[in-house]
């Protein structure tokens, strides 16, 4: 496929077919009217962006980095006590997903999807999520003059990342080579610790709670709608939303830490790696 000769119509066909294949619900208006409309907004604009970028030296990773920077720039715009800057911040957070929809398709059409690109994509989503929380916090302070919220803004980035699990994964990766080289008797190891049957089991109500004001597009857009209402009416609805989000993040952090330690997910994960590695060596 000569990507330089792809027309807008051809790019549109490729992108729409790929998205509907991966996510069939995007083509069902009655079941998901908002998602149906928002997805098409993203897809049509991503078609135009890809049509331009596919003929340029800009790489998918550059697009992904720009996507991540949206979280920082958007947070700054929401933090400034100015009507126009706040509106720009809302627009950035509302439209950032266009870049997220574009980088993967650009990689598939012109390059090849990579692990680095996938990591950047997840990292960018995290930056955007934290950026929205920080920007919303400063916006609420400017709206309400509740200066005590500055302490929540300082703490939320630490709680948002769920440091226990992220730190554990980092340590495992850094020591992966030495971990896999430690040959142990698999049967005795499993019987002794019973790790093979160990799973990270969160209570159902916790899984439900994680979905409250998460990074789903509907939730993000609802928060942005509340911000717009507050901008035009000088109301304080965003204050209550911010308190709920902060409470949710705090409880999620505490419970994730508790269940992460309780279930020994790290030992279970490492044991599975050892067994898989030993099996491949024996084969």
Residue 281 is assigned to a structural domain of this protein: no
- Is pLDDT above 80 for 175? no
* Structure confidence at residue 186 as a pLDDT band (50, 70, 90): very low
Residue 210 is assigned to a structural domain of this protein: yes
Q: Which helix (H) or strand (E) holds 1?
A: none
- Is pLDDT above 50 for 188? no
* Structure confidence at residue 173 as a pLDDT band (50, 70, 90): low
Asked if 136 and 86 count as a contact pair (C-beta separation under 8 A), the reply is no
Percent composition of the chain: helix, strand, coil (DSSP 3-state, to 5): 80, 0, 20
Residue 256 is assigned to a structural domain of this protein: yes
Q: How many domains does the chain have?
A: 1
Asked if 112 and 52 count as a contact pair (C-beta separation under 8 A), the reply is no
Domain, as residue range, for 109? 3-161+202-262
Asked if 126 and 161 count as a contact pair (C-beta separation under 8 A), the reply is yes
Residue 268 is assigned to a structural domain of this protein: no
Buried b (16+ CB within 10 A) or exposed e, 129-165: bbbbbbbbbbbbbbbeeeeebeebbeebeebbebebb
Whichever domain contains 68, its CATH number is: 1.20.120.1760
Residue 279 is assigned to a structural domain of this protein: no
Task: Encode pLDDT of 61-112 as tens digits.
Answer: 999 999 999 999 999 999 999 999 999 999 999 999 999 989 888 888 887 7
Task: Encode pLDDT of 190-239 as tens digits.
Answer: 333 443 334 445 555 555 556 666 677 888 999 999 999 999 998 999 99
């Amino acid at each position: 496929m000569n990507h330089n000769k792809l027309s807008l119509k051809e790019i549109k066909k490729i992108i729409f077919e790929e998205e509907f294949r991966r996510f069939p619900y995007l083509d069902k208006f009655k079941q998901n009217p908002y998602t149906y409309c928002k997805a098409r907004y993203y897809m049509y604009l991503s078609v135009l962006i890809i049509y331009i970028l596919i003929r340029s030296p800009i790489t998918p990773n550059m697009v992904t980095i720009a996507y991540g920077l949206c979280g920082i720039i958007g947070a700054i715009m929401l933090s400034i006590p100015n009507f126009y800057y706040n509106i720009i911040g809302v627009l950035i957070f509302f439209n950032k997903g266009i870049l997220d929809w574009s980088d993967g398709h650009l990689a598939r059409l012109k390059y090849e999807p990579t692990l680095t690109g996938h990591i950047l994509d997840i990292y960018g989503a995290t930056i955007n999520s934290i950026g929205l929380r920080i920007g919303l916090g400063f916006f609420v302070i400017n709206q309400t003059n509740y200066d005590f919220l500055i302490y929540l803004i300082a703490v939320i980035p630490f709680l948002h990342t769920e440091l226990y699990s992220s730190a554990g994964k980092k340590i495992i990766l850094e020591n992966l080579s030495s971990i896999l080289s430690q040959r142990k008797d698999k049967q005795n190891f499993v019987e002794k610790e019973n790790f093979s049957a160990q799973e990270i089991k969160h209570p159902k109500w916790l899984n439900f709670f994680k979905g409250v004001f998460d990074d789903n597009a509907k939730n993000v857009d609802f928060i942005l709608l509340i911000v717009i209402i507050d901008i035009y009416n000088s109301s304080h609805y965003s204050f209550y939303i911010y308190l709920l989000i902060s409470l949710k993040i705090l409880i999620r952090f505490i419970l994730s830490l508790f269940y992460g330690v309780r279930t020994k997910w790290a030992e279970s994960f490492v044991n599975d790696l050892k067994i898989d590695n030993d099996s491949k060596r024996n084969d």
